[in-house]
Amino acid sequence: MKPEADSLTRVKMWAMALAAPNVPPSVRRRAMYSYLGALYGLAMEAEPTLRPLVGSDGMVMTKAMAEMQEALRQASNREVPALFGEVFKATGGGRPPKARSEQLCWASAAAVITIIMRECAKTEEEAAKLVEKHLRHKGIHVPSTSRANAPAWKRLQSLRDKIIAGNGGKFAKAYYDDALRFGAFNEPPYTPQQWMDFLLDPPFVAYEPFD
């Protein structure tokens, strides 16, 4: 067996651990640290295309992996990682922005409501109920609001209104528009479930919105 075979197995193992649903952040940090280490080991052993990674010049090419590992180690020690120090400087108050992955999740949910209304002749209430139920079955729950007695689908409906108005977060409206574009690329008729399976399949991995 080639040496890189064992390293490839380790990379796959940690990648699968990271892909598992509902993994606590502390476990994800450790898995990501190990994944980067296994990827580094694989790069050191690979033949022949990655051979330039071996040696002093190669260390420059693998420096990003080591730097991310260090940032993960610092975060696990409750330090502000040096890599992100500038980002987490005190800003004088105010709430920090929502995580992009969270904005992507709810923006996609809002877009699917719009698509189901448009393509499947559902009312907004019917579409919101379908989407809320779909996400709940995935272990994702609509955030609570000051209207504590409002049903979850109604809160999702209100969240959609905020996103469409541009008040749902810095990237939410752009993610909403992206999801509508993705939907337009597909040929109907799709059922509501097919739209939800296509556009609402966690994990939601944030990206730079399209222009």
Identify whether residues 184 and 136 lie together within a single domain. Answer: yes
pLDDT at position 103: 92
Is residue 181 pLDDT above 80, yes or no? yes
Identify whether residues 124 and 172 lie together within a single domain. Answer: yes
Q: How many residues does the chain have?
A: 211
pLDDT at position 5: 56
The alpha carbon dihedral of 126, 172, 200, 188 has a sign of: positive
Identify whether residues 144 and 187 lie together within a single domain. Answer: yes
Q: How confident is the model at residue 41 (pLDDT cuts 50, 70, 90)?
A: confident
Residue-wise pLDDT for 116-138, tens only, equals: 999 999 999 999 999 999 999 99
Q: What share of the chain is helix, strand, coil (3-state, %, to 5)?
A: 65, 0, 35
Query: Is the residue at 94 inside a domain?
Result: no
Is residue 197 pLDDT above 50, yes or no? yes
Identify whether residues 107 and 149 lie together within a single domain. Answer: yes
Identify whether residues 50 and 126 lie together within a single domain. Answer: no
Measure the CA–CA gap between 126 and 11, rounded to whole angstroms. Answer: 43
- What does the pLDDT average to over 177-194? 86
Which of 55, 84, 113 is a domain's end point?
84
What one-character-per-residue DSSP string does 11-34 give? HHHHHHHHHSTT--HHHHHHHHHH
Residue-wise pLDDT for 99-115, tens only, equals: 888 999 999 999 999 99
Identify whether residues 116 and 182 lie together within a single domain. Answer: yes
Model-level pTM greater than 0.85?
A: no
Query: Is the residue at 177 inside a domain?
Result: yes
CB proximity list for 86: less than 8 A, separation 6 or greater: none
Is residue 192 pLDDT above 90, yes or no? yes
Query: Is the residue at 124 inside a domain?
Result: yes
Identify whether residues 186 and 128 lie together within a single domain. Answer: yes
- What does the pLDDT average to over 175-179? 94
Amino acid at 76: S
Identify whether residues 186 and 108 lie together within a single domain. Answer: yes
Identify whether residues 63 and 118 lie together within a single domain. Answer: no
Identify whether residues 156 and 71 lie together within a single domain. Answer: no
Query: Is the residue at 93 inside a domain?
Result: no
Domain count, the chain: 2
pLDDT at position 141: 93
Measure the CA–CA gap between 96 and 58, rounded to whole angstroms. Answer: 38
Identify whether residues 118 and 185 lie together within a single domain. Answer: yes
Higher pLDDT, 30 or 8: 30
Is residue 6 pLDDT above 60, yes or no? yes
Residue-wise pLDDT for 133-169, tens only, equals: 999 999 999 988 666 678 999 999 999 999 999 998 8
CB proximity list for 75: less than 8 A, separation 6 or greater: 29, 81
Higher pLDDT, 93 or 31: 31
Identify whether residues 25 and 111 lie together within a single domain. Answer: no
- What does the pLDDT average to over 21-38? 87
Measure the CA–CA gap between 175 and 183, rounded to whole angstroms. Answer: 12
Residue 142: give the domain boundaries.
100-199
CB 140 within 8 A of CB 131: no
Amino acid at 81: P
